[in-house]
């Protein structure tokens, strides 16, 4: 097995060998990214209605939402590895096909447990897509182009966030063809078919052809993550029975065994699932820590804001979508400008973004007690807009910073790790904030009063803001070379 330092030398030699169709490829990759992003955020706004329609518990609703992120988290590293081995174009095709099929099945099911399973498999399919998108970008564009490409990529995530929340709310509220929330799943199908139709234009890049799958490590990683995330999502609603603590302790032991297996395989010059030497790249290792904290804060805030607006204030889906509009708009603007901002100010852009997120969380608590019933008041709209601006500054530049020094030959593994920790933060954020919110609520969602919701929301938002500020501290440890040329 060749060390990453040798791979970097080869990458430099091949730097100028770029595909002349790379910009057309980028358009198709962005469509694949939009497909994943739209699904996640459309599901978020439709979740309370799905819960009521299927008579699901709050715990089941959490799993319907976070099951997707769980599927992503447990398979993203494997997806990146498969792309490195068998070709990113081939694995991208398999992922989009699986995502489209699970969308069809999800659109016709009426059982909460089955829907959780479908969402997990949908996440597994997305795990085959996401690493290929980032690794193809990494291998297809010149270094001087990557800042712009990642800015476009981040801006598209902002579009997916805004459009997903707004479109999801309106489509479900319009109840097209009597489909209600099912349109959230079925809406993915034509987009998936379109990507499948044009996927032949994607270059079939890959890493080293001599790699093999570390199935022992794969099983340990998947099992460890499952046993970590499931009890966090289901344990609170069941009163934290003994089995949840057993699972959490066992998950830690399994994940430690996974790390030991990776170290052993690396010493044997075999092919581990993760080349741990990638963490010797300081921008990558510290960037991953920063990703976990910032996305933990972000996903927790999104999840709890949605429940407060729909269950606490009884807003319909259209009004809920409009609450998220200023947030998504700010996210889009700073995502698009992030490349220029990073060239001028470097990591200070990310620090300003995380500080802004935390301040806006606190301001939202203040406005909440002044006027708790009107989330669309002028002051709240401004606070959410500024939060979105900070969010774009804090998240979009991270991808380019983390991937800037990763060699092309392990781009799939690197992108798999990046997105694994991102969606792991999603699942952990939802589980953590769900525990805080329901503990402070003190009642079921239907029995709680507005005062109960205000108290629970205020504490949860304060926790989210605190995590954003911790993210700011993490950014201060990123290498100063993160300021890109």
Q: Return the HEC string of the chain.
A: CCCHHHHHHHHHHCCCCCCCCHHHHHHHHHHHHHHHHHHHHHHHHHHHHHHHHCCCCHHHHHHHHHHHHHHHHHHHHHHHHHHHHHCHHHHHHHHHHHHHHHHHHHCCCCCHHHHHHHHHHHHHHHHHHHHHHHHHHHHHCCHHHHHHHHHHHHHHHHHHHHHHHHHHHHHHHHCHHHCHHHHHHHCHHHHHHHHHHHHHHCCCCCCCCCCCCCHHHHHHHHHHHHHHHHHHHHCHHHCCCHHHHHHHHHHHHHHHHHHHHHHHHHHCCCCCCCCHHHHHCHHHHHHHHHHHHHHHHHHHHHHHHHHHHHHHCCCCHHHHHHHHHHHHHHHHHHHHHHHHHHHHHCCHHHHHHHHHHHHHHHHHHHHHHHCCCCCCCHHHHHHHHHHHHHHHHHHHHHHHHHHCCCCHHHHHHHHHHHHHHHHHHHHHHHHHHHHHHHHHHCCCCCCCCHHHHHHHHHHHHHHHHHHHHHHHHHHCCCCHHHCCC
pLDDT band per the 50, 70, 90 thresholds, residue 37: confident
* Residue 292 CB neighbours (<10 A): 19
- Indicate the pLDDT class of residue 483, thresholds 50, 70 and 90: very low
The tokens describing 378, both together, are 């002028």
| pLDDT classification of 314: cutoffs 50, 70, 90 | confident
Backbone angles phi, psi at 308, to 5 degrees: -65, -45
Q: Would you state the structure tokens that stand for residue 263, as one six-digit string? A: 């170290």
> CA-CA distance, 448 to 210, in Å (whole number)?
59
Report pLDDT digits (tens) over 66-82: 788 778 777 877 888 88
Task: List the structure tokens of 372.
Answer: 């708790």
Tell me, rounded to whole angstroms, the distance of Cα 262 from its chain centroid. Answer: 25
What is d(CA 18, CA 131) in angstroms, rounded to the nearest whole number?
Answer: 19
**Residue whose entry in the numeric block shows the structure tokens 């302790």:** 249
| Least confident span in 1-15, 163-177, 332-346, 440-454 | 1-15
Integer Cα distance of 251 and 246 in angstroms: 8
Quick one: pLDDT at residue 158?
67
pLDDT value of position 364: 92
* Cα distances (Å, whole numbers) of residue 99 to 113, 137, 292, 391: 19, 21, 25, 28
Task: List pLDDT tens digits, range 141-196.
Answer: 777 787 778 778 777 776 776 777 777 777 877 777 878 888 888 888 998 999 99
Q: What is the pLDDT of residues 460-475, one digit of tens each?
A: 999 999 999 999 999 8
| Res. 459: pLDDT tops 90 | yes
Query: In sequence order, which residues have a C-beta less than 8 Å from that of residue 462 and are 6 or more positions away?
Result: 361, 362, 365
Average pLDDT over residues 278-306: 86
Share of the chain above pLDDT 90, in %: 20
Q: CA of 55: how far to CAs of 116, 180, 434, in Å?
A: 14, 15, 19
Per-residue model confidence (pLDDT) at position 485: 40
317/440: higher pLDDT: 440
pLDDT tens column, 95-127 = 999 999 999 999 888 888 899 899 989 989 998
pLDDT tens-digit readout, 385-444:
999 999 989 988 887 777 666 666 666 667 767 777 877 787 788 778 888 888 888 777
Rg (CA), the chain: 21
């Amino acid at each position: 097995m060749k060390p990453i330092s040798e791979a970097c030398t080869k990458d430099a030699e091949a730097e100028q060998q770029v595909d002349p169709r790379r910009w057309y490829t980028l358009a198709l990759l962005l469509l694949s990214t939009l497909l994943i992003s739209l699904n996640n955020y459309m599901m978020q706004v439709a979740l309370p209605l799905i819960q009521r329609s299927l008579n699901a518990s709050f715990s089941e609703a959490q799993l319907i939402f976070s099951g997707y992120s769980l599927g992503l988290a447990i398979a993203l590293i494997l997806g990146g590895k498969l792309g490195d081995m068998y070709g990113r174009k081939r694995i991208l095709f398999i992922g989009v096909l699986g995502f489209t099929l699970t969308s069809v099945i999800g659109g016709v099911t009426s059982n909460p447990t089955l829907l959780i399973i479908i969402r997990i498999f949908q996440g597994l399919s997305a795990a085959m897509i996401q690493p290929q998108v980032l690794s193809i970008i990494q291998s297809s564009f010149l270094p001087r182009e990557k800042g712009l490409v990642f800015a476009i990529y981040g801006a598209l995530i902002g579009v997916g966030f805004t459009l997903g929340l707004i479109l999801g709310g309106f489509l479900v509220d319009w109840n097209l063809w009597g489909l209600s929330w099912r349109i959230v799943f079925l809406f993915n199908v034509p987009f998936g078919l379109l990507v499948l139709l044009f996927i032949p234009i994607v270059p079939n890049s890959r890493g080293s052809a001599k790699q093999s799958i570390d199935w022992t490590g794969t099983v340990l990683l998947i099992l460890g993550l499952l046993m970590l995330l499931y009890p966090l999502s289901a344990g609170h609603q069941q009163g934290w029975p003994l089995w949840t603590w057993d699972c959490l302790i066992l998950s830690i032991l399994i994940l430690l065994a996974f790390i030991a297996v990776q170290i052993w395989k690396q010493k044997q010059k075999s092919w581990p699932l993760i080349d741990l030497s990638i963490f010797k790249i300081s921008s990558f290792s510290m960037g991953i820590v920063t990703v976990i904290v910032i996305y933990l804060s972000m996903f927790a805030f999104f999840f709890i804001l949605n429940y407060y607006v729909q269950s606490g204030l009884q807003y319909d889906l259209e009004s809920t979508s409009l609450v998220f509009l200023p947030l998504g708009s700010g996210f889009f603007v700073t995502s698009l400008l992030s490349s220029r901002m990073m060239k001028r100010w470097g990591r200070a852009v990310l620090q300003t973004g995380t500080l802004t997120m935390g301040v806006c969380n606190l301001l939202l608590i203040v406005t909440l007690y002044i006027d708790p019933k009107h989330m669309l008041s002028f002051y709240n709209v401004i606070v959410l807009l500024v939060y979105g601006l900070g969010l774009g500054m804090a998240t979009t530049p991270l991808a380019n910073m983390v991937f800037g020094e990763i060699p092309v030959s392990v781009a799939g593994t690197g992108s798999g790790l990046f997105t694994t920790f991102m969606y792991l933060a999603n699942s952990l954020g939802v589980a953590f904030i769900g525990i805080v919110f329901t503990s402070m609520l003190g009642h079921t969602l239907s029995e709680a009063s507005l005062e109960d919701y205000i108290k629970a929301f205020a504490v949860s938002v304060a926790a989210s803001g605190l995590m954003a500020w911790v993210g700011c501290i993490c950014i201060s440890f990123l290498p100063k070379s993160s300021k890109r040329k």
